[in-house]
Each structure stands twice: as C-alpha cells, then as structure tokens.
Structure 1
Amino acid sequence: MPDHSPLIQSLRTAVAGAPDDVPLRLHLAELLVAGGHHDEAVAEVAVALQHAPGDAQARELMTRAMGAPPQAPEAPAQTPQAPSSPPTGFNWQAAEDQVGDVVPPRFVEPPQTADGSGDPGDAAAWEVEAPDGVRLADVGGMQDVKDRLEAAFLAPLRNPELRKLYGKSLRGGLLLYGPPGCGKTFIARAVAGELGANFLSISINDVLDMWMGNSERNMHEVFETARRQAPCVLFLDELDALGAKRSRTAHSGMRNTVNQLLTELDGIDAGANEGVFVLAATNVPWDVDNALRRPGRLDRTLLVLPPDAPAREAILRYHLRDRPVAGVDLRKLAKATDGLSGADLAHLCEAGAERALLDSARTGTVRMIGMKDLLDAAATISPSSDPWFASARNVAMFANEGGMYDDLVTYLKKKRKL
C-alpha cells in the first residue's frame, strides 16, 4: 500500500469507525484523488454510492477518480439545486463493472417484505426429477412388499383399458410405514420408475414457513407443480410432521397446513389430481391425522419392514462393491444380520472397513476386508428398529381399530414379539 499523509490515515480510521458516514468517506476520497491514489478513491466512492446512489458529489468524484474529464462547474445558486444528472459521455455501466470486484453486492436475494410475501411460491423452487430407471426389480428381496404394491397400486394404473372399463380414476394414495432406515424412500422412487413418472420429494422443511399463510401457499404450490409435471409421483416424507393430528396441534398455523393438505389431496375440482400419484412415508402412522387416511386420500397402507435375507444380501453386496474384500460369504453374513435395517447394514460395512483400515495402519501392511471384520462389526451393532417395535407393539395391541395394523400384528406374532 502506498504511503499516505497522517491526515489520510486519520480519516481512514474515522471511516472505519463510521462506515455509513457518506460525507466523511467522500472527503477521504477527495484527498485520495488529490494525492493521485485513484484506485483507492474509486473503492471509497463506490461504497459511498451504495449508501447514497443519487449523491451528485459522489458521482462527480467517481468521474474524476476514473479519469474522465470533470463536469463543468455550475454557477453558484442561492437555493438548493436538484442532484445533477450523470456527466454526458461517462460510461456508468463500465464503471459499475470495474468496481464490482471491489464492492460486492449488498444482497444476494431481493429482500422480503415485512410479511414474507417477497418470497413467491415459484414452481421452479420445487425440484422435479425425471424418471431415472430405478425399478422394483432394483429393490433386493422384499417380495411381499412388491406383490402388495403390484396388486394394490401398480396393476390398476398399468392397464388403462381395464381402468376405463371399471371407472378407475388415475389417482392414487399410498402410505408407507415402518421402522426408520428400511428403504421407504427408495421404494417410492422405484414406484415412480415402474410408472415412468416424474418424482417430486417433499418434507416439512420445504413447506413450513414462519409467516402466517405461507405454509398453506407452499403446500398448494407443491401440488400445482406435480399437476403440471403429471404423470408425477409426489412423495410426502415424514407425513407425521406434515399431517400431524390436528387435535394434538396447539398452533393454528400447523392445523391450517393440514387442512390445506386435505384440500389438495381431494383436488380443487374434479380430475385436478389426474396423473398425480401421492405416496407418503412415516415412522409413526398413529400420529397422522385420521382424515388423511379416509377413502380417496391415503387410503391404502403398506408396512415396510427390515429387509429379509435376500434383501440383506443385496444391500451388503451394494455397500461392499467398491471396497477391497476377500473371502466374504454374503449369504452367511446376511443370515447373521437378521433384524438389521438397511441403514444398519450400511453402517456395518463402514465399521468392517474401518477395522481393516486400522489394522493395516497398525501393522504397516495393507490387507483386504475379511469375513471376520464384518462379523465382528455385526456383533457390536444392535438393530436400530428395536425401539420402534417396542412402541409399535403397544399400538398393535391396543389401538388396532378396524384392522389398520393387521400386517404389523402378524409380523410381531411371527417374531414372537407380541
């Protein structure tokens, strides 16, 4: 940095203490121009113009700092004059481009109004994924789940002639429930692939807003986007948060959001949701508002359980495919991991790889991941679904109105947990 006079140094200190003081900053810039420090003067005037875009003195000073001929002085006036227009012949756009690196934009996005309405519900805000080729065949094992999906959801939608004959609407609502980490989201993507439909995944973070009325508007925009992109699978993740029981919701804003969701599921008019297939997932279906599960809405349910042996083998193969393994018996490993969820199995592969890595670092000899590494890791992992089944057991025993959780009861009895 060039040497400056003590006065300029003092003014710099004063400007740092009062960055919004435009006259003080312009006085500093004036001295910098007089001293031949034009680049530094440009930076100071640019900041001043951010605070006072129409300041005539700042514009005139910028002209001199940029090296353009100064504007001819005006005759003195007894009354205040309106700010003069920019000097003729000076390219302000070029000046703005030149100082753009010196003074970054003050705002990345346009400011919102006081009620938040400056953030419009733009359809572009919702990311719709085109069909990516994932099919049910890519879901390892879980044949019971696939069969039920085919019978209750996919078969009627794949046969337009039969659907027309029997007056079946091209609408669908299916609720996937079960312990966490068992692949509900992946199954929803596979359903979209089976239908050749677009996929739009929404969670509470995409809908909930701090401003009154914006959450309902966001919910409407989500459905409008799905309707425009039909055929489209709209996946509502964490439905217990988006559609919690209104009787237990103290805040009126959340109750209104649930009401809006019900309205959108019904469609604004006849056929509005044609081609929109609504899938939802939750770990706690007993916390979902009962109105969401009435006929015509999410009226079909499917229990997604921890993966069976073929599914566990497929998941283990997937997570070990790019790792250096040797002598791993996937069938034996799948048998030893009964009850683990898909997320648990991914963690098991990470833990087994970590054991081999640490041993290689300790001995100085790189070795492969072996069966013992994975079995030892499996012995330290408890099924993450156990707490869920502990809660679900009480629901299955005392709150199975209308046979809503018959599948869960059957599974618990099979596993002797009921």
Structure 2
Amino acid sequence: MSDSPLIDSLVAAVEARPDDLTLRLHLAELLVGAARGQEAIGHAAQVLARDPGNAAAQRLMAAALAPVPEPGRQGAPGAAPGNQGGPGQQGGPGQQGAELGEFGPEPAKRGDSVDWVAMEQELGDIVPPRFAKTTDEPDPVQGHADRAFDVERSTITLADVGGMQEVKKRLEVSFLGPLKNPKLRSLFGKSLRGGLLLYGPPGCGKTFLARAVAGEMGASFISLSITDVLNMWIGSSERNLHDLFESARGHAPCVLFLDEIDALGHKRSQLNSSSMRTVVNQLLTELDGVDGNNDGVFVLAATNAPWDIDSALRRPGRLDRTLLVLPPDKPARAAILEYHLRDRPVAGIDLGKVAEITEHYSGADLAHLCETAAEFAMRDSIATGEIRMIGQADMVAAVREVRPSTDGWFATARNVAMFANESGEYDDLAAYLKKRKRS
C-alpha cells in the first residue's frame, strides 16, 4: 500500500481492466505527479504498445523518464506541475533533453569520452537493475545433490505460447486430451504413458513449450540435461538417470523434459566410449519402465539434431511421436516482439511491419532484435545527453544487423529430408521446406 488511497484504488482497477487505456493513462499521470516515475514508465509503455501514436502516453513517458530535480533548484518538488515535465507540459523529447542539461551534468559531446559515473548517477534510477538476485533465491549449488529439489510447478500454459497452432493440436491429442477425459481414455485404452520428441531449429521455444504442457496439465515438471546425468565415476551416470526417473514417478503426473536428447541418446554405433553406451542402455530401460511404473510420467524430449539420436529411442513405446517446432509465423512474431518491448520505452513502433520483415527469425532472434534496438536508442541517449524512446527506425536498423540464425539449421535439415527420409519420419520437414522454397 502507498500513501495515496486514490493511486491504490486505480492500481487495483487497472489490474482488473488491463485493456482500459484511459484508466491506465490516468494512473500514469498520478504516478508522475507523485514522483513515482518508474511505475509510470511501465503503464505508459503498455499504452504505447497498444496505441503507438498516443500523444498523451508519449508525453507521460517523457515526463517519467525526466530526471528528478534536486531540492532548491528551479522545478524542484513543490513547483508547478508544468515545470516538472508533467502531463500538462507541452513539447516532447527535445524539451526533455533541455531539462536533462539543466538539472544534471553537461551533455556528452559526440566523439568525447563518456563520463560513465555521472551518467550512471543521472540515469540509474530510470529503470531498475535487470537480472538482480532476489533475497530469497537459493544458491544454485544448494539442493543439487537431492533430486527432489529439481521438481518444479510450471505457471505458464499453452495460452502463453504465441502461434504454434498445429503443435498445440498435436499436444492436445497426445497428452492433454487423454488426461482431461478419463472415461474416453478408458474406452479407447489410451495409456497415460507416452513419449514425444520435439525437434527443430534452436531458439524456437521447445523448452518453453514443454513447460507450458506441464502448466496446462497442472503436473510437476523436471528438466533433465546432460550435466544432471554424466559423472566421472563408473555407474554413477546410470544411477543419476535412474534417480531422476524415480523422482518423476514419485511426483506423477509429471512431465519429464529431456533437453538435448541427442547428447544423452546419441547413436551407439557412433560412440567410442563404452560408458556412454551404457548410459544410452539405461535410458532405454527407464523409458520402458522396466524397474518402475511409468504411468503418469510424460516424457518430452527436445533436440536440434533428431538424425543423431539412436534409433532404439524412437521405436514404438518410447519416443514414438515426433513433432516439428518451426520458427514463429507472422502473428506469433508480432506477439513475441510485443512481449520483449512491453517494459521498454517505445513510441511509434509498427509491430506488423517489423513482423513482416523478420520471416524465418526464431524467438531467440526476435528477443535479440529488441535488445539491439534498445542498444541503438541508449547509445544515442548517452552520446547526445537527450533521452529518447525506441522507435521504428531502431527496429529496422536492428533487422539489418541481426540475421536469422535458423538458416544454417535448415541447410543441414534439407539434406536429411532429401536423402535420408526413406521411412517418412521427416515428411513434415520436407513439406515445410517445399513451402519455404516457393515463398
């Protein structure tokens, strides 16, 4: 609770009606007047994300970004709202830059060395530090020996996944439908055991999708990687693998996610190490549930190279279903861009046009694109001493600099689809490559 009951009431109202832009603007205006600029930035950014041309939101963003004047100077607290760069102030980022020079150090000249200490003091309170460790965050080393500590509860669902409609349909049939309809499951003899292999270019959301499945099911989530299993002592790797599967069985229903499965389940014919071959054998045993009941354990595996996986892992009863996870389509790209720009100061960005020129970009590429555009705007702000928001020109410049990382993967996948698809397991990949060649 704050000192202002009116602001508290408006915060609750905005949470109940997040799409009411007029209400959100009124709250941002009050936050600016109460010298709570950091909170006002978030609300103004939400308005600009939905209505990039909103002049009132742009003025509020500029006012919230303006540095707080020191007491005793012109425009200090207690002066007229218009002198503080508030909502009633006319003008834009240019006038805001004048205030920056008035209340702070002299603007840095282009070509001169930047006074980073002064800039940090001046701008450090505009956006809080990112990736700060919370006080109650456990040390990553702690709990590693006890595998039960790795069991999570996912808070995201498939509704949080942009696009991927075909992927969602397949997941509904494979996992979610049988779980939600026990009578139909019994009628058709559908077991709750299952294995699904997600493959595709890196950075396209395979891990996020696995967490969303766990959240949709209300199931526990355990993520397994090669570092969780491999150990230098003979027999320890197999024991680690068995313990993780036992933990999943003990927390059923549970989604067990095997990330980079090609590292743990590489083709045994290509392995020179006998210890790695025994790890693959142990993985096959655990998938079969020989030493335990796998009912309620949903195995999802992800890889960028399905052609390197041992064929025994993909036989019926193990990872017998395969799903291609492709780069996001245009609506999904727009949603991803909006997500990564939501808390940044933006103005005049046409998400549809940016999504149009970022075909074949992965989700990770789009996140890097937004980061690069933010760097351009911040670089100009440092060089000129005038803080400005991220605009369409920054996004277009970032597109020219950041190229899609999926091209190399598709070059390799094309050879597999053309010359190693006798069984038809890559038919969906071949169909996509034909469509992509025509586009």
Asked if 1:192 is matched to 2:219, the reply is no
2:171 corresponds, among 149, 156, 164, to 149
1:239 corresponds, among 261, 271, 293, to 261
Structure 2: gaps spanning 5 or more residues: 1-140
Cα 1:282/1:131, change in 2 over 3 Å = same
Asked if 1:127 is matched to 2:150, the reply is yes
Deviations 1:150-170 (A, max 9, x none): 233322232111111122111
Within 5 Å, which residues of 2 pair with 1:222-233? 222-233=244-255
| 8 Å contact from structure 2 (residues 154, 212) kept in 1 | no
Q: Which amino acid aligns with 1:251?
A: S
Specify the SS of the correspondent of 2:381.
Answer: helix
Hey, what does 2:91 align to over in structure 1? none
1:277 corresponds, among 279, 298, 312, to 298
Q: Which amino acid aligns with 1:123?
A: R
| 8 Å contact from structure 2 (residues 153, 215) kept in 1 | no
Percent identity, please: 69
Cα 1:356/1:121, change in 2 over 3 Å = closer
Deviation at 1:347, TM superposition (A): 0.5
Hey, what does 1:104 align to over in structure 2? none
Hey, what does 2:181 align to over in structure 1? 159
Deviation at 1:145, TM superposition (A): 1.5
| 8 Å contact from structure 1 (residues 121, 218) kept in 2 | no
| 8 Å contact from structure 1 (residues 182, 306) kept in 2 | yes
Q: Which amino acid aligns with 1:284?
A: A
Q: Tell me, in whole angstroms, the C-alpha distance in 2 between the residues paired with 1:249 and 1:417.
A: 39
| 8 Å contact from structure 1 (residues 313, 334) kept in 2 | yes
Hey, what does 1:248 align to over in structure 2? 270
Q: Tell me, in whole angstroms, the C-alpha distance in 1 between the residues paired with 2:412 and 2:282.
A: 30
Q: Tell me, in whole angstroms, the C-alpha distance in 2 between the residues paired with 1:413 and 1:130.
A: 40
Hey, what does 2:30 align to over in structure 1? none
Q: Tell me, in whole angstroms, the C-alpha distance in 1 between the residues paired with 2:378 and 2:348.
A: 17
Cα 1:228/1:152, change in 2 over 3 Å = closer
| 8 Å contact from structure 1 (residues 121, 217) kept in 2 | no
Deviations 1:300-351 (A, max 9, x none): 0000011111111111011101100000111111111111101100110010
Hey, what does 2:192 align to over in structure 1? 170
Hey, what does 2:389 align to over in structure 1? 368
Q: Which amino acid aligns with 1:128?
A: V
| 8 Å contact from structure 2 (residues 365, 404) kept in 1 | yes
Q: Which amino acid aligns with 1:178?
A: G
Hey, what does 1:78 align to over in structure 2? none
Cα 1:179/1:161, change in 2 over 3 Å = same
1:338 corresponds, among 359, 363, 369, to 359
Hey, what does 1:17 align to over in structure 2? none
Q: Tell me, in whole angstroms, the C-alpha distance in 2 between the residues paired with 1:360 and 1:198.
A: 45
Deviation at 1:148, TM superposition (A): 2.0
Specify the SS of the correspondent of 2:196.
Answer: strand
Q: Tell me, in whole angstroms, the C-alpha distance in 2 between the residues paired with 1:351 and 1:226.
A: 40
Q: Tell me, in whole angstroms, the C-alpha distance in 2 between the residues paired with 1:261 and 1:401.
A: 26
Hey, what does 1:356 align to over in structure 2? 377
Asked if 1:138 is matched to 2:160, the reply is yes
TM-score under structure 1 length normalisation: 0.69
Cα 1:360/1:120, change in 2 over 3 Å = closer
Q: Tell me, in whole angstroms, the C-alpha distance in 2 between the residues paired with 1:285 and 1:130.
A: 28
Deviations 1:252-273 (A, max 9, x none): 111000000000000025x700
Within 5 Å, which residues of 2 pair with 1:5-404? 122-124=146-148, 126-132=149-155, 134-268=156-290, 272-404=293-425
Specify the SS of the correspondent of 1:244.
Answer: coil
Deviation at 1:238, TM superposition (A): 0.2
Q: Tell me, in whole angstroms, the C-alpha distance in 1 between the residues paired with 2:144 and 2:348.
A: 57
| 8 Å contact from structure 1 (residues 303, 408) kept in 2 | yes
Deviation at 1:372, TM superposition (A): 0.5
Q: Tell me, in whole angstroms, the C-alpha distance in 2 between the residues paired with 1:401 and 1:189.
A: 33
Deviation at 1:401, TM superposition (A): 2.5
Specify the SS of the correspondent of 2:332.
Answer: helix
Q: Tell me, in whole angstroms, the C-alpha distance in 1 between the residues paired with 2:216 and 2:408.
A: 33
Specify the SS of the correspondent of 2:216.
Answer: helix
| 8 Å contact from structure 1 (residues 356, 367) kept in 2 | yes
Cα 1:281/1:260, change in 2 over 3 Å = same
Q: Tell me, in whole angstroms, the C-alpha distance in 2 between the residues paired with 1:145 and 1:309.
A: 16
Larger Rg: 1
Deviation at 1:414, TM superposition (A): 0.1
4+ residue stretches of structure 1 with deviation over 4 A? Answer: 119-122
Specify the SS of the correspondent of 1:415.
Answer: helix
| 8 Å contact from structure 1 (residues 184, 304) kept in 2 | yes
Cα 1:320/1:120, change in 2 over 3 Å = closer
Specify the SS of the correspondent of 1:400.
Answer: coil
Deviation at 1:404, TM superposition (A): 0.2
Specify the SS of the correspondent of 1:313.
Answer: helix
Asked if 1:416 is matched to 2:430, the reply is no
Deviation at 1:122, TM superposition (A): 4.2
| 8 Å contact from structure 1 (residues 156, 162) kept in 2 | yes
Structure number with higher relative contact order (C-alpha < 8 Å, ≥ 6 residues apart): 2
Q: Which amino acid aligns with 2:239?
A: R
Structure 1: gaps spanning 5 or more residues: 1-108, 110-118
Cα 1:330/1:389, change in 2 over 3 Å = same
Hey, what does 1:55 align to over in structure 2? none
TM-score under structure 2 length normalisation: 0.66
Deviations 1:166-196 (A, max 9, x none): 2211111000000000000000011111111
Deviation at 1:417, TM superposition (A): 7.7
Q: Which amino acid aligns with 1:288?
A: I
Q: Tell me, in whole angstroms, the C-alpha distance in 2 between the residues paired with 1:299 and 1:121.
A: 32
| 8 Å contact from structure 1 (residues 216, 257) kept in 2 | yes
